[in-house]
Structure 1
């Protein structure tokens, strides 16, 4: 259990992820909703209500989105690159003692028609680029942000630089130099996050798991904070609606008293 700070500065505790809610981490294997034991679902039916966070990972293909999810949910690392079309992963975490079901949607960077289907229910986005693929960093502003803002203009974003372990890899650096390129720097990513209005910025590695949990914690807390903010705003609207009729009635009485005064039908003494 680690302490994280929400948008208001208050510390919040986020547990390690547990696959399926009750099972322990396993070797690399994609756990989907259909893999959860029925007994687990029955046990949860009478338990405390859980908060759901739908997190969507977007970015160019081959930047390591699937690897992030597999490493985070199973403590394993995929040894082969297999292009993803559409995958859903679910883990359970505990935030401030309350259960949270984290649903992770892994979308292909190449399938433009399918992506909006996953966007509609998103609570938070992980906007991913590879620190050793400058073109993927460039595409954040030219492709991914406009697409997300078109479908989900108010959904919080977390900007994520992936494949951090390769930034100092000699072979990678040689390959980039041959193409007159260099890795994307941390400050470049931080500046872009500020320009995009992202709620958080992180660089992480699925292989070494450096900053991996912090990255997903940021997404979870951003979604929860957004939900809480929306709830407060909704409550304020309901309160305003309840008070509005009385206010209108009061204004109407004062208005009619003034009219009667002007018409000489009553004493014109107002407090």
Structure 2
């Protein structure tokens, strides 16, 4: 419910494997909003947002808004997870890193959640509905007329 109004979401979780690169975009038409997700404990998934996912959706659906979603926030402070990352000279991604990437890529917003604890989960979908209802304004193209 947003503003007292019920909304129904249809979710499509697309395969990220390279084998599906040609098939995946077939599910993109008529998409109202994308949720571009990465794990806050997987620096490689964070890099894939910039290198793969946002370029792909921007190519196929340039006017469709997207949210950047940091997942698995319950593991950010998990000692075993932090230790495994440290062995590779890595660490969990901070909320500030997500905010910065969202701004850089012009996402509607950055949100975080944990499916395990349900923390932030409702907010992700509420923000997705709001983004779909109020798509970002497109700037009018500047035109030059030569006479």
TM-score, length-normalised on structure 1?
Answer: 0.48
2:10 to 77, 92, 103: 103
Matched, 1:188 2:85: no
Q: How far off its partner does 1:200 sit?
A: 1.1
Deviation at 1:98, TM superposition (A): 3.4
1:127 match: secondary structure: strand
Query: Match of 1:203?
Result: 112
* Cα distance, 1:217 vs structure 2: 0.4
Q: Which has the larger radius of gyration?
A: 1
Candidates 106, 127, 133, aligned match of 1:218: 127
TM-score, reference length from structure 2: 0.87
Provide the residue aligned with 1:118 in structure 2.
27
The answer to which structure, 1 or 2, has the higher relative contact order (CA under 8 A, 6+ apart) is 2
Q: Distance in 2 between matches of 1:165 and 1:116?
A: 31
Structure that is richer in strand per residue: 1
RMSD: 1.7
Count, aligned residues: 136
- Tell me how far apart the structure 2 counterparts of residues 140 and 97 of structure 1 sit (CA, whole Å): 33
- Tell me, what secondary structure is at the counterpart of 1:213? helix
Gaps of 5+ in 2: 139-147
The residue aligned with 2:72 is 163
Q: Which residue of 1 aligns with 2:141?
A: none
Indicate which of 49, 56, 60 corresponds to 1:147: 56
**4+ long deviations beyond 6 Å:** none
Task: Report the Cα distance in structure 1 between the residues aligned to 2:115 and 2:54, rounded to whole angstroms.
Answer: 23
Give, in angstroms, the shift of residue 166 of structure 1: 0.4
